[in-house]
């Protein structure tokens, strides 16, 4: 039986002004990002009226991650991380304002600006993860990471949830402006981080040194079985979440009849499930190994997706989304903890960069494939196939020895 030890010094972390400023910056930046995506998928759906069209914003989110995230992880280890995060926020806010002038005009133009926004975003995540390990004492780092994980999930939910009422009350243009303002305020919060690490200096880099550092990160993942299969599992559940977000618009409009603009309420219920999952995770970890906790997450997520493919009831759909959020947090929080524990401090920047690349890859090909399945064979068939795949992945991770994390 695996004992779960709750870190005792939350108060010490919350009393760290550097952490609090960084934490607020992360919260606001994540909310801005999710509000932006919410409005973007609505705009894409209104312009195309197809699930494949909705996948265009997801592609603009995933492609830069695949191409640049791993390299970004190398560069931010050599640049001034605080300045990198501030500049990333400011540039994204400016570009969102630019998109306002493209609404209802050019899906291609929106896609190109979104590509640039998410290319810049690739430098924010690894810079944030690396800076966090420098502003928090070593003994409190796990506490800080758990708080970041919780608010990362919840800010995503709040961001999607706010998207619905903001669009209904104020329209797409004002909602985009709100996202831009949140990015600017996030930049201010990060700027206020009183970080005085004298070793953080901008350094010149050569192509050879970047390649060497990047290959070191990939080699570490290749040799470490636990890290490798943990990343595969995280990619699988992230793919499922991305596909559900993409299909939720048509599901809300045509299957349960609450309207396309109200699909965010399904996401809110998933967020409530995540909060319950965070509370239950400690208790489950006390009685079960991490591999079993991950299996419970996969089994519950896959089962409710299968059930969701057959439902036309609003109440049942909300319940299934709640359970889906519960299962998702069991998987993500547990796997992220495993990766943090198994990765040496000196390699975290590169591993986080590669992780960011792999996870965001899950927002590209799977989204397009399941969008096509939904358009040609029906939304229920697409959700059913996704549920079966996730359920099967859960059983494989439990039954195949190499796929067991710990």
- Domain map (residue ranges) of the chain: 11-193+208-403
* Per-residue pLDDT reduced to its tens digit, 330-367: 887 778 777 777 777 667 667 777 777 777 777 667 77
pLDDT-derived band of residue 2, with 50, 70 and 90 as boundaries?
very low
The whole-angstrom distance between residue 388's C-alpha and the CA centroid of its chain comes to 22
Question: What distance in Å separates the CA atoms of residue 374 and residue 382, rounded to the nearest whole number?
Answer: 5
Determine the angle formed by the axes of helices 225-250 and 379-399, rounding to 10 degrees: 160
Percent above pLDDT 90 for the chain: 7
User: 83 Cβ partners below 8 Å, 6+ apart?
Assistant: none
Which class for 207: exposed (0-12), middle (13-18), buried (19 or more C-beta within 10 A)? Answer: exposed
The sign one gets for the Cα dihedral 55, 60, 62, 66 is positive
SS3 at position 393: helix
Cβ-contact 267, 245 below 8 angstroms:
yes
Which class for 6: exposed (0-12), middle (13-18), buried (19 or more C-beta within 10 A)? Answer: exposed
pLDDT-derived band of residue 282, with 50, 70 and 90 as boundaries?
low
Q: Which residue has the higher pLDDT, 138 or 369?
A: 369
CA atoms within 13 A on the CB side of 331: 33
Question: Which of these ranges, 34-38, 279-283, 337-341, 365-369, has the smallest mean pLDDT?
Answer: 279-283
The whole-number pLDDT of residue 263 equals 67
Distance between start and end Cα atoms, the chain: 12
**pTM for the model:** 0.67
The whole-angstrom distance between residue 34's C-alpha and the CA centroid of its chain comes to 9
Which of 114-128, 174-188, 198-212, 305-319 has the highest average model confidence (pLDDT)? 174-188
Of the candidates 211, 236, 197, the residue with the CA atom closest to the CA atom of residue 362 = 236
User: 142 Cβ partners below 8 Å, 6+ apart?
Assistant: 7, 337, 340
The whole-number pLDDT of residue 145 equals 64
The whole-number pLDDT of residue 191 equals 93
The whole-number pLDDT of residue 38 equals 81
Question: What distance in Å separates the CA atoms of residue 128 and residue 21, rounded to the nearest whole number?
Answer: 12
Whether domain 11-193+208-403 has CATH 3.40.50.300: the reply is no
Question: What distance in Å separates the CA atoms of residue 217 and residue 331, rounded to the nearest whole number?
Answer: 23
pLDDT-derived band of residue 124, with 50, 70 and 90 as boundaries?
confident
The whole-number pLDDT of residue 7 equals 41
The whole-number pLDDT of residue 8 equals 37
Question: What distance in Å separates the CA atoms of residue 347 and residue 230, rounded to the nearest whole number?
Answer: 16
Check pLDDT > 90 for residue 184. Answer: yes
């Amino acid at each position: 039986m695996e004992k779960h030890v709750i870190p005792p010094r939350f108060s010490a972390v919350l009393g760290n002004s550097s952490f609090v400023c960084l934490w607020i910056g992360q919260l606001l930046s994540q909310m801005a990002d999710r509000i932006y995506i919410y409005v973007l998928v609505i705009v894409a759906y209104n312009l195309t009226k197809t699930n494949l069209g909705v996948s265009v914003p997801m592609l603009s989110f995933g492609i830069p991650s695949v191409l640049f995230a791993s390299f970004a992880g190398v560069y931010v280890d050599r640049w001034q991380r605080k300045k990198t995060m501030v500049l990333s926020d400011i540039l994204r806010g400016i570009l969102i304002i630019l998109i306002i002038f493209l609404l209802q005009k050019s899906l291609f133009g929106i896609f190109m600006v979104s590509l640039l926004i998410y290319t810049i975003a690739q430098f924010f995540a690894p810079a944030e993860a690396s800076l966090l390990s420098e502003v928090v004492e070593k003994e409190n780092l796990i506490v800080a990471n758990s708080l970041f994980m919780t608010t990362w999930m919840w800010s995503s939910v709040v961001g999607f949830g706010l998207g619905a009422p903001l669009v209904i009350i104020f329209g797409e243009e004002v909602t985009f402006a709100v996202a831009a303002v949140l990015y600017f305020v996030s930049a201010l919060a990060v700027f206020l981080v009183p970080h005085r690490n004298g070793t953080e200096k901008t350094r010149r880099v050569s192509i050879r040194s970047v390649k060497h550092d990047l290959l070191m990160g990939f080699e570490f993942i290749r040799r470490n079985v636990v890290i490798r299969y943990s990343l595969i599992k995280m990619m699988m559940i992230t793919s499922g979440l991305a596909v559900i977000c993409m299909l939720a618009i048509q599901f809300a409009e045509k299957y349960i009849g609450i309207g396309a603009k109200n699909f965010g309420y399904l996401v809110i219920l998933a967020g409530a499930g995540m909060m319950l999952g965070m509370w239950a995770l400690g208790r489950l970890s006390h009685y079960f190994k991490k591999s079993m906790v991950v299996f419970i997450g996969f089994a519950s997520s896959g089962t409710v997706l299968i059930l969701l493919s057959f439902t036309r009831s609003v109440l049942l759909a909300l319940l299934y989304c709640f359970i889906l959020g519960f299962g998702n947090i069991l998987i993500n929080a547990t796997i992220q903890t495993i990766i943090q524990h198994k990765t040496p401090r000196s390699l975290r920047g590169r591993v986080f960069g590669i992780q960011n690349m792999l996870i965001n890859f899950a927002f590209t090909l799977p989204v397009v494939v399941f969008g096509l399945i939904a358009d040609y064979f029906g939304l229920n068939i697409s959700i059913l196939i996704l549920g079966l795949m996730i359920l099967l992945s859960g059983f494989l991770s439990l039954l195949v020895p190499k796929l067991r994390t710990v």
